[in-house]
Each structure stands twice: as C-alpha cells, then as structure tokens.
Amino acid sequence: MRDLIFKFGTDLIAIKIENKKLQFCKLQGGYIKYSPIEGLKMSIPGILKEFPDLKDEDEETIRRTAIKRFKKHVMGLKTEVEIQEYLQKDLKKHGYELKYLKRPGFRRRGVG
C-alpha cells in the first residue's frame, strides 16, 4: 500500500494505492474520506484533451469512458511502484505536484 499526497494550487489531494485499487481524497482539515474514482469531479475539457476521440459524445459517456480507460490502464501496470510513477507523471502535466509519499513500514516523507 502506498499513499501519495499531491498539491494542486492550495488543495491537497491524497491517492491511496492498494494492489491495483486506487482511492482518492481531497484533504480538508482533519476530515479524510477516500472514494473510488467514480466519486471524483472530472473536467470534461481535460478528458477531451487526453481522449479527443470522445468529442462527439455526451458528458456522462465521456466521463464513463475515461474512467473505464483509466482503470484498464492501471490494471495493465504490474506493480504499485509502476502505478505510482504513472500517477506522478500524468498528474504533473496537469499541474499537480507530489509533496509526500508513504510506503508500508516507513514514515511519510517529503518529495522534491
């Protein structure tokens, strides 16, 4: 299991990787509640930037298809480390900066 904490503007976003299952959380004060990717708000323009072939679909179809493709890609990665590296690289190009990393048996450490 790995926990990644990203900074996006003034927000902190946590992602928990457990095997190939991902949970997402926006950190606000002491309140922490993880949810699957289906619980996230997604930017339709951001999705269309990644998947321009969806431009003629309605918003719900675009969202569902993007989630399906994301999950398929994650399932194709072999290890939690590969998933972590993929998330770091992909989120960085959207302005997210990895701030902390937590691995099992280790204290949380700052990154960068």
Say if CB 21 and CB 12 are below 8 A apart. no
pLDDT band for position 22 (cuts 50, 70, 90): very high
CA nearest neighbour of 2 among 20, 16, 22: 16
**For residue 87, how many other CB atoms are within 10 A of its CB?**
20
Whether 112 has a pLDDT exceeding 70, the answer reads no
Residue 39, token pair as written in the block: 């619980």
Is the per-residue pLDDT at 47 higher than 80? Answer: yes
Confidence band of 29 (pLDDT split at 50, 70, 90): confident
